[in-house]
Structure 1
Amino acid sequence: MSQPRPEVFSPEGADLEHPNVARVYDYYLGGSANYAIDRLFAEKALERYPFVRPAAMANRLFLHRVVRYLAKRGIRQFVDIGSGVPTMGSTHQVADEIVPDARCVYIDNESVAVAHSRILLEREEVTDKHAVVQADLREPDLLWSEVGRTGVIDLDQPVALLLIAVLHVTQPGPDGQDIGPQAVARYRDLLPSGSYLVITHGTDDDVPEHRKREMAEFGKMYDQSATPVLWRPHAEIEEFFGDLPLVEPGATWTPLWHPEESGANAPEIEFDTPNESVVWAGVAHKP
C-alpha cells in the first residue's frame, strides 16, 4: 500500500495550471513539494530522457560541495537566488554542518518554493539565522535591498552568491530580451570585496551527439511550460563571471569540481563521461 504524499501548500498566487521548473526539479530530486501537473511533466520527461535525474542530482551535489568548500575558507553568508524548494540538502543545512555561524537567505519568485522554504526554517527553529525572500532575479537592486532588509546578511561583508541552475530558465524582460547577462553584471557590482560568485548552467556544448539531440527535444518540452529553458555554450556561461578570477579548477562539469568535498553519505552519480552531466559550473572570487 503506497504512503500518502506529504502536504503540499498552495499559497495565494501559485500557478497550478502549468508545470513549474522549481517544482519539477524538486520531483527530479525525490522531493514532495510538487503538484500533479508537475509530476505528469516530470514523469514524461524522465521516461523520454532518463539522463535528466542524474544530471539534476549531480548539480545538487555540486551545491553541497561548493558550500562546504567556501565555508571552510571563511565564508559565512550565502545568498541563494532561484533556490527552489527545500529538498536533498538545502544550502543552510550543509553550511550549518561546517560552521555554527552561517547565515543564508533564499530567494525565489515561485510562491510554492518560498512557502516551503519558510516552513522548513520555522520547523528547524532557525529563522534567527536564515531567511526567505520572494523576489525576481531580473531586478538585482530590488532583490539586493530585500536581502539586506532581512537583517540576516551584512551586505558590507563577503557573501557567496549562488546562481545554481537558474540562469538557463531566466525569463526574458518586457522587451523580449535576455537580460540574464545584464542582471548578473549588476550582481557582480553589488558583491562586496572578498565575495564569491557561483554559477551552474545547463549546456549542450561539447556533449555527446545523442545527448545534444535529447537536450534539444527536452528543451522543447519546457517551451510549452511557464518556464522555458536556454542552453548556452561554455563561453557565454563563463562571460557571466566577467573579469573575476575563477577558483581552481576553473569552469568545468559539475562532477569534476572539487569531488573531495563530497559528504560522507553523498550518493554516487555515475556518468560514462563527465560531459554527460550537461551542467557547466564555476566559482569566481571578487578580490
Structure 2
Amino acid sequence: MDGVLPLDQPHTSRIYDYFLGGKDNYEADRVAAEEILKAWPDIRTAAKVNRQFMQRSTRFLAEAGIRQFLDIGTGIPTEPNLHQIAQEVAPDSRVVYVDNDPLVLAHARAFMTGEASGATAYIDGDVTDPDSILRAPELAQVLDLSKPVGLSMIALLHFVETDVNRIMSQFLDVLAPGSYLVICTITADFAPEQVAAAQDVYRVRKLPAQVRTHDEVTSWFAGLDLVAPGVVPPHRWQLAETTEISPAFDAKISCYCGVARKP
C-alpha cells in the first residue's frame, strides 16, 4: 500500500485500538467506534476477550513446539503482543506480522522488536491476497515454510467479505504438516439484532463487515484436526473446567474461535 491512509476515513485496526483503550486513533475512528458502541455496548469486552484468547492460543502453540508464527491482521500493538507470548516460552520464536494500515506497521517496527535470539518482521499486506504475503521477501527472511508455522487470524475475518475458504486453502496448501491455524471472528448466532446493528455502522462508514455462523467458521478448519473444545466462543477455549460462564456472556462477546493442526 502506498502512502498513508486518509485520517478522515476510519480504519478497523484503529477502531479496535480505541475499544482496547489505546491512544493510537483519530477523530474519525473515535466517532465510528462510539456509534458501534451504541449498537453493541459490550464490544469493548469482546475486544479484550479476543486479546486474552490470542495470549492463551499463542502460549498453547509455543508449548506444543511451534517456533514460527504468521500473524495476519496484527492490529496496533497492545502488550503483551504475540511475539512476547511466544518468546516468553521459547526465546528463539520467529514472528512475521502482517497488516494493511501504515500506522500499524510503523508501531510494529518501533515496538515489536522481540528477543535477539528470535526474529520479527513486518509485511504491508492484505489477507485477501495470500500470494503477495507468501511471496514477500520479509517472510522468506524469517520463516521457513518447510517447517510448521502457527497461522493466526484473530479479530480479522469479520472484515473479509470475500471467500474465506479460498483464502484458507491458499495459505494452508503451502504450510508444512504440523502447522496450526488460529481464528477468532464475530458471529450473530447469539445476539443477531445487536451484531447486525454494529455491522450496519461499519458498512455505513465504508468498512467491510461480515459475520458468520458456527457452521461457516467450522468449515474453515476442513481437513484439519481441531483442538478441544473445538469451535466455541473465545472465553470458553481452554479455560479451567471449574470456570463458570453464563450463557448470557456468549451474547456479549458474540464471537467464535478455534485452533486446529494440519495433519
Please give the TM-score of this superposition, normalised by the length of structure 1.
0.84
Counterparts of 2:116 and 2:124, CA distance in 1: 18
Instruction: Tell me by how many angstroms 1:253 deviates.
Output: 0.7
Secondary structure of the equivalent of 1:56? helix
* Structure 1: 5+ residue stretches without partners: 1-10, 172-177, 261-268
Deviation string 1:74-131 (CA, Å, 9 cap, x unpaired) is 0111100111111142101111222211111100111111111111135x67596111
| Amino acid in the other structure paired with 2:158 | H
Secondary structure of the equivalent of 2:141? coil
Q: Is the 8 A contact 1:131 1:150 kept in 2?
A: no
Q: Is the 8 A contact 2:95 2:121 kept in 1?
A: yes
In structure 2, the partner of 1:238 is 218
CA spacing shift, 1:149–1:27, aligned 2, 3 Å: same
Counterparts of 1:126 and 1:137, CA distance in 2: 28
Counterparts of 2:41 and 2:22, CA distance in 1: 17
Instruction: Tell me by how many angstroms 1:148 deviates.
Output: 5.7
* Structure 2: 5+ residue stretches without partners: none
In structure 1, the partner of 2:68 is 77
Deviation string 1:186-215 (CA, Å, 9 cap, x unpaired) is 11111111100111110011x1xxx32111
Counterparts of 2:124 and 2:211, CA distance in 1: 25
CA spacing shift, 1:110–1:95, aligned 2, 3 Å: same
Aligned pairs for 1:121-132 (under 5 A) are 121-122=112-113, 129-132=119-122
Counterparts of 1:186 and 1:220, CA distance in 2: 30
The answer to whether structure 1 residue 155 and structure 2 residue 139 are counterparts is no
Instruction: Tell me by how many angstroms 1:180 deviates.
Output: 2.3
Q: Is the 8 A contact 2:158 2:186 kept in 1?
A: yes
Specify which of 180, 184, 193 is matched with residue 196 of structure 1: 180
Counterparts of 1:128 and 1:273, CA distance in 2: 38
Q: Is the 8 A contact 1:107 1:133 kept in 2?
A: yes
Q: Is the 8 A contact 2:123 2:138 kept in 1?
A: no
Counterparts of 2:198 and 2:172, CA distance in 1: 31
Q: Is the 8 A contact 1:55 1:277 kept in 2?
A: yes
The answer to whether structure 1 residue 212 and structure 2 residue 192 are counterparts is yes
CA spacing shift, 1:43–1:191, aligned 2, 3 Å: same
CA spacing shift, 1:234–1:279, aligned 2, 3 Å: same
| Amino acid in the other structure paired with 1:139 | D
Q: Is the 8 A contact 2:188 2:211 kept in 1?
A: yes
CA spacing shift, 1:225–1:68, aligned 2, 3 Å: same
| Amino acid in the other structure paired with 1:280 | Y
Q: Is the 8 A contact 1:22 1:110 kept in 2?
A: yes
Q: How big is the alpha-carbon RMSD for the aligned residues of Structure 1 and Structure 2?
A: 2.1
Please give the TM-score of this superposition, normalised by the length of structure 2.
0.91
Aligned pairs for 1:1-287 (under 5 A) are 12-122=3-113, 129-146=119-136, 149-171=139-161, 178-205=162-189, 207=190, 211-260=191-240, 272-287=248-263
Of 216-225 and 43-52, more deviation after overlay is shown by 43-52
Counterparts of 1:23 and 1:166, CA distance in 2: 13
Aligned residue-pair number: 258
CA spacing shift, 1:72–1:125, aligned 2, 3 Å: closer
| Amino acid in the other structure paired with 2:254 | V
Instruction: Tell me by how many angstroms 1:183 deviates.
Output: 1.2
CA spacing shift, 1:245–1:15, aligned 2, 3 Å: same
Of 213-222 and 29-38, more deviation after overlay is shown by 29-38
CA spacing shift, 1:115–1:271, aligned 2, 3 Å: farther
